[in-house]
Amino acid sequence: MDLKDAKRFFSCVLGDPPPVSCKICLWDGAELSFGGQGPAFILRVNDPDVLDKLFNADPSLAFGEAYMSGGMDVEGDLGQLVSLVYRTDLHSMPFGKRARMCWLGIKGKARNIRQSRRDIQTHYDRGNDFYRLWLDEGLSYSCAFFSSPDDALEEAQKGKIAYTLHKLRLKPGHRLLDIGCGWGSLAIQAAKTYDCRVVGLTISEQQYELARKRVEEQGLSDRVDIRLQDYRELPPSESGTFDRIVSVGMFEHVGKENIPVFFKTASGFLRPKGLMLLHTIGRMRPIDMDAWIMTYIFPGSYIPAVREVTEAAQIHGLDFIDMEDLRPHYDLTLSHWIRRFEAHVGKIRDMMGERFVRMWRLYLNGSQMAFRYADMHVFQFLYSLGRRRDMPLTRRWLTEMNL
């Protein structure tokens, strides 16, 4: 792509005027300014081949790879640049080939347990020391729950766990299955607060080791059983033995073809009238996954649409009780994560390298803009196995608690 085409390309995709003022600095020193105010960011295109890739390949994948490799640099607010993708509908432009998606085998194939384990370990086994640098003390790697925008991240993550457990209407002696228990914070809190017996499942080896250690340190080994186990590997002897099931931030890794498998399996382990809470990122309508995210961040993932969740749940006997959207809370959560990541970026660069820093920075900022401007939500679905007639008539019970 020559200089003339480059100018035409950016003018076309950004709009006139663009939602955000910016400056584009090309490889030959040419500068293109868009918008009438000072630039929120400067995009430096260091390699002319980058624009050809943006035009002829999947734009998200091409941009992500160019930023990671240094073919493009961003000065200023990276989040504002990513916001343009959603505010100008650039992510849905007709150019951008889908061959890469087919090559990755995303469509039409249900992943087996071995592949799921490899996909999860790719993301979550990057090292507990890495995650400690930018997550909260409890290592909760999902949307927090803020009573106020001024809440500290630790307070908001504890609030999310308390709110989630409150919705499950737990009682002493209940048996709770935590599918995708992460580093164990929710399982530990359920045992301490409600005197439950908890089985926590993860297929990340590093999460498993640390979660077991935390359980032992708190003297809860008699009440919390952390297992390195896929939800599909639970033995038949445990069918119908759980009073409650919870899954927070795991469902996005199930994959589109395994959505019915998840609900069939989960419902089989619930007791009649048992409650299940599913906390997941979701959309209002089905959309193919972003190619760059699938390649570099969350292989094998899929963000489900509301209909895909509700239909699969109903087919397998789960009766709908409630759905809540926590979308604004994830915007706030990501703000905290981004600030913490940047505060420790030197250590992270030493641990993981510059290319990783660029990749993770783009992932965090891109995620925040997707929740702020695109069709991205965080849903909490509450179900019962069979119809319950003892639930409160109004939703006041959800807020009548001290977080």
Spatial CA neighbour of 263 closest among 209, 321, 317, 226: 317
Q: 248 - beta bridge partners?
A: 279
Segments of the chain with pLDDT less than 70: 1-5, 7, 12, 15-16, 55-57, 88-111, 402-403
Only one residue has tokens 């589109």, namely 256
CA-closest candidate to residue 378, choices 247, 276, 256, 282: 282
> Which letter, b or e, does each residue of 199-218 get, where b requires 16 or more Cβ atoms within 10 Å of its Cβ?
bbbbbbebbbebbbebbeee
Provide CB contacts within 8 A for 114, sequence distance 6+: none
Grouping H, G, I as helix, E, B as strand and the rest as coil, residue 219 is coil
Strand partners, 380: 279, 324
Q: What is the pLDDT of residue 115?
A: 79
> How many C-beta neighbours within 10 Å does residue 11 have?
14
Measure the CA–CA gap between 155 and 144, rounded to whole angstroms.
Answer: 9
Tokens 């401007």 appear where?
Answer: 373
DSSP string, 49-91: HHHHHHHHS-HHHHHHHHHHHTSEEEEE-HHHHHHHHHHTTGG
pTM: 0.81
Q: Which residue type is seen at 383? A: Y
Sign, CA torsion 264/269/271/275 = negative
The amino acid at 188:
I
Question: What DSSP character marks residue 238?
Answer: G
Per-residue confidence (pLDDT) for residue 3, from 0 to 100: 65
Residue 89 pLDDT: 59
The full DSSP string for 145-174 is: --SSTT--HHHHHHHHHHHHHHHTT--TT-
- The string of pLDDT tens digits covering residues 242-270 is 999 999 999 999 999 999 999 999 999 99
For each of the domains in the chain, give its residue range(s) and CATH number, in order of start: 3-97 (3.30.1050), 113-328+373-399 (3.40.50.150)
Q: Residues 341-351: pLDDT tens digits? A: 999 999 999 99
**The pairing of beta strand 41-45 with beta strand 72-76:** antiparallel
For residues 33 and 38, give the distance between their C-alpha atoms in angstroms, rounded to a whole number.
9
In tens, the pLDDT along 37-82 reads 889 999 999 988 887 777 666 777 888 898 999 999 999 988 888 8
